[in-house]
Amino acid sequence: MNDFEQMLIYSRYQFRNYVRAKRLWILLLITGLVIALIVSVNAYFGNPASETAKKTASTFASFAPTLVVLTALFFGGDAIASEYQNKTGYFLLPNPIRRYVILWGKYLASLAAGGLVVLIYYLSGTVYTYYYHSTVPVEYWYSLAYALVFLVSLLSLTYMFSTFFKNGAVALVIVAILYFFVFNIIDGVIQLTGIEPWFSITYAANIITLVFQGSHMGDYPHKTVLHPGNGITVTIYNPYLWEGLAIMLGYLIISAIISTIVFEKKEMK
Amino acid sequence: MDLEAKALTKKYGNFYALRGLDLKVKGAKCVGYLGPNGAGKTTTLKLFTHLLNPTGGEALINGYSVQKEMKKALMEVGTLIETPDFYPYLTPEELLTMLCRIRGATKCDVKHALEEVGMYEWRNKRVGKFSKGMKQRIALAAALVANPEILILDEPTTGMDPRGMAEIREVIRDLKKSQRLIFMSSHLLSEVTEVCDEVAMLDHGTLLLHEPIDVVLERFRGNVVEVTALNKIDGEAIKGIKGVVSVEQISDTRVRIGFDDGAQTQHAILSALMQQGVDVVEYRSVGMALEKAYLEMIGGDTK
């Protein structure tokens, strides 16, 4: 039995575990509520039929980055830490299966479960946009692709954090704080320094919505300098599409290497 | 089939959890691994199952280094370490099937493994709802399912009720008959006496003894017997029997006799009692030899 076959087998059973778990259903419920909110608010306060298909689709895609963060948290936050805390590691680790196979088998299952949620969300947006405009703009599919790349990358980063801890709840809370507060604060503060936050994954994820801006894809300013007064200069950066992808890919590779090394060395004390 | 520790050492800071363990167990048998809490028993088993990395030395299974050739080393090993938990939304049948498929095991029998531990009727229920004892049974089934030739068991009856404990001991006895090497840690001296062929004792990370259990039992045999009879036992008359050093009259029909030699004297005392007209219904050594060995070599409380 080679490592790849073992990874697929483990991943399949993990996915089954995720599908039956409450977490998936809670996340689907949140997704459903958000969809209902977008549809009802737009119907009540706006007029989707009178706007462009691109505008309608972009309204839907605007929640996608937050959904991806939630998905990564739900399926990755405590994924590895729980193996230690819940002692499931005692069941699986003393078998002829390499640690990285377990790590990436579980990652694939999380990705499949998380991807399912993102796809369901985008499918709803497709139906919604098509209902009003009888077409779906090509930018929407790019947005979906970027959202999936963001999921792949953020989940890898989340797994990396999860390998650092032995307590699932601690891992989950710390990762939530990082994603919802720390990264956003850094992105905000950095605007005052004039430095492009090329090192921030949430900055890179802006391409999910930026793709809708301008007359064609990528038609938006990379750098905007504002002078709101009192000698303050605010520099707003928007990542190029290729740049956003490169940053996310960088996060994927680096966090994958670190999490693999950490999990290989980690002991079940 | 063999397990071998070569100068196996595990250190946490300045504390030695295991200090240069040299131990080899080979062939179809059960080896009981005894020691007080913190002696290094579980550490040893975790080093043999790749859950810990040694600070020094090597753990070998069937000649393969657990650290360097993990897949080959663990291929013929079934393990039960501590009380593992399981993915809560999977059933016992799914968990064991997954394990079989991951191991690529050709000798897998999920049904038989679940039947052996008395969990077959629960095969389609989600494990998340099981009690600790039920999970321990599933964990043992997981160790058995691929039909491995070596079993590494860490206190396998932990968390079980008395019936469960008896059933698991029966399973282990059956396993011995099917030509396997069982390396089992335990706090329960009676369990090891009942089930194992060899005993290894460990304290403060150092191996104190590794011998066949018969040898240990003979060496540490207790020199006190307790006699129960149907009629009254005359304690004074017993004192006259050769080799008897003390007689404690517990009741009219029960006495505890101390003697100063081995099995020959023990037999002679019984013969003399019969000749004196005592209707003996029970004649047994007081205190287990293994407990005596444990207390002499390690000291402290035993369960």
Residue A80 forms part of a structural domain: yes
CA distance B139 to B145: 10
Residue A91 forms part of a structural domain: yes
Residue A175 forms part of a structural domain: no
Q: What does pLDDT average to over chain B?
A: 87
pLDDT at residue number B287: 59
CB pairs under 8 A between A and B: 91
> What does the pLDDT look like over B230-279, one tens digit per residue?
988 888 888 888 888 888 888 889 998 888 777 788 888 888 888 888 89
Compute the average pLDDT of residues A53-80.
92
B269 or B223, higher pLDDT: B269
Q: Is the pLDDT of residue B169 over 90?
A: no
- pLDDT-based confidence at B289, cuts 50/70/90? low
- Collect all residues of chain B within an 8 Å Cβ-Cβ radius of residue A95: 74, 79, 99, 102-103
ipTM above 0.90, yes or no: no
CA distance A265 to B254: 61
Residue B38 forms part of a structural domain: yes
pLDDT at residue number A62: 93
Last residue of a domain, one of B202, B218, B234: B218
Residue B113 forms part of a structural domain: yes
Same domain? For B135 and B265 the reply is: no
pLDDT at residue number A126: 96
Same domain? For B122 and B249 the reply is: no
> What does the pLDDT look like over B30-81, one tens digit per residue?
999 988 888 899 999 999 999 999 999 999 999 999 999 999 999 999 999 9
Same domain? For B138 and B82 the reply is: yes
Say if CB B81 and CB B6 are below 8 A apart: no
Residue A115 forms part of a structural domain: yes
Residue B295 forms part of a structural domain: no
CA distance B244 to B265: 8
Provide the token pair at B284.
């047994």
Q: Is residue B232 within 8 angstroms of chain A, CB to CB?
A: no
Same domain? For B241 and B192 the reply is: no
CA distance A160 to B142: 29
Percent of chain B with pLDDT over 70: 96
pLDDT at residue number B92: 95
Same domain? For B281 and B147 the reply is: no
Q: CA-nearest residue of chain A to B102?
A: A6
Residue A164 forms part of a structural domain: yes
Residue B69 forms part of a structural domain: yes
Tell me how close the Cα of A12 comes to any Cα of chain B, in angstroms.
9
The amino acid at residue A178 is: L
pLDDT at residue number B106: 77
Say if CB B170 and CB B191 are below 8 A apart: no
Same domain? For B160 and B204 the reply is: yes
Q: Is the pLDDT of residue B295 over 90?
A: no
What are the φ and ψ backbone dihedral angles of B274, each rounded to 5 degrees?
A: -60, -40
- Collect all residues of chain B within an 8 Å Cβ-Cβ radius of residue A91: 84-86, 95, 139, 142
Residue B259 forms part of a structural domain: yes
Provide the token pair at A170.
């601690």
- pLDDT-based confidence at B303, cuts 50/70/90? very low
- pLDDT-based confidence at A104, cuts 50/70/90? very high
- Collect all residues of chain B within an 8 Å Cβ-Cβ radius of residue A90: 51, 81-85, 139
Are residues A90 and B72, on separate chains, in Cβ contact within 8 Å? no
Provide the token pair at A12.
């399949």
Query: Hey, how many other C-beta atoms are within 10 angstroms of the C-beta on A176?
Result: 16
Same domain? For B227 and B196 the reply is: no
Q: Specify the long-range contacts of residues A223-229, CB closer than 8 Å, at least 24 apart.
A: A223/A196, A225/A194
Are residues B87 and A265, on separate chains, in Cβ contact within 8 Å? no
Nearest CB to A91; choose among B46, B94, B139:
B139
- Collect all residues of chain A within an 8 Å Cβ-Cβ radius of residue B98: 9-10, 13
Residue B299 forms part of a structural domain: no
Are residues B102 and A95, on separate chains, in Cβ contact within 8 Å? yes
Tell me how close the Cα of A14 comes to any Cα of chain B, in angstroms.
8
- pLDDT-based confidence at B288, cuts 50/70/90? low
Tell me how close the Cα of A158 comes to any Cα of chain B, in angstroms.
20
Residue B292 forms part of a structural domain: no
- Collect all residues of chain B within an 8 Å Cβ-Cβ radius of residue A87: 82-85
> What does the pLDDT look like over B186-213, one tens digit per residue?
877 777 887 889 999 998 888 988 999 8
Last residue of a domain, one of B184, B218, B252: B218
Last residue of a domain, one of B180, B195, B218: B218
Q: Is residue B273 within 8 angstroms of chain A, CB to CB?
A: no
Same domain? For B271 and B183 the reply is: no
Are residues A87 and B52, on separate chains, in Cβ contact within 8 Å? no
Are residues A97 and B86, on separate chains, in Cβ contact within 8 Å? no
Nearest CB to A96; choose among B83, B89, B103:
B103
B 27-56: CB under 8 A from A: 46, 49-53
Average the pLDDT over each of A221-225, B42-46, B286-290, B291-295 and give the range with the smallest value: B286-290
Q: CA-nearest residue of chain B to A96?
A: B71
Same domain? For B279 and B234 the reply is: yes
CA distance B193 to B291: 10
Nearest CB to B99; choose among A17, A95, A269:
A95
Q: Give the CATH number of the domain where residue B11 resides.
A: 3.40.50.300
- Collect all residues of chain A within an 8 Å Cβ-Cβ radius of residue B77: 94
pLDDT at residue number B25: 94
CA distance A199 to A78: 24
Q: Is residue B139 within 8 angstroms of chain A, CB to CB?
A: yes
Q: Is the pLDDT of residue B302 over 60?
A: no
Q: Is the pLDDT of residue B285 over 80?
A: no
Strands B181-186 and B2-12: unpaired
What's the burial of B42, exposed, middle or buried (CB within 10 Å: 0-12/13-18/19+)? buried
Residue B121 forms part of a structural domain: yes
Residue A215 forms part of a structural domain: no
Q: Is the pLDDT of residue A158 over 90?
A: yes
pLDDT at residue number B300: 53
Number of domains observed in the structure of chain A: 1
pLDDT at residue number A208: 96
Same domain? For B125 and B53 the reply is: yes
Tell me how close the Cα of B178 comes to any Cα of chain A, in angstroms.
22
A211 or B293, higher pLDDT: A211
Tell me how close the Cα of A97 comes to any Cα of chain B, in angstroms.
6
Number of domains observed in the structure of chain B: 2
pLDDT at residue number B301: 46
Compute the average pLDDT of residues A115-122.
96
pLDDT at residue number A225: 86
Same domain? For B213 and B78 the reply is: yes
pLDDT at residue number B193: 81
Q: Is the pLDDT of residue B138 over 60?
A: yes
- pLDDT-based confidence at A151, cuts 50/70/90? very high
- Collect all residues of chain A within an 8 Å Cβ-Cβ radius of residue B83: 87, 90
Same domain? For B143 and B161 the reply is: yes
Range of the domain at B265: 223-286
In terms of Cα–Cα distance, which of A87, A38, A119 is closest to B132? A87
pLDDT at residue number B170: 83
Residue A66 forms part of a structural domain: yes
- Collect all residues of chain B within an 8 Å Cβ-Cβ radius of residue A24: none
Range of the domain at A98: 3-169+256-265
Are residues A13 and B90, on separate chains, in Cβ contact within 8 Å? yes
Tell me how close the Cα of A147 comes to any Cα of chain B, in angstroms.
29
B170 or A144, higher pLDDT: A144
Are residues A96 and B101, on separate chains, in Cβ contact within 8 Å? no
Say if CB B34 and CB B186 are below 8 A apart: yes
Query: Hey, how many other C-beta atoms are within 10 angstroms of the C-beta on B164?
Result: 17
Compute the average pLDDT of residues A75-102.
91
Residue B132's alpha-carbon distances to A25, B95, B137, B139, in angstroms, are 27, 16, 9, 10
Q: CA-nearest residue of chain B to A91?
A: B84
CA distance B81 to B136: 10
Residue A203 forms part of a structural domain: no
Compute the average pLDDT of residues B116-124.
90
Are residues A93 and B50, on separate chains, in Cβ contact within 8 Å? yes
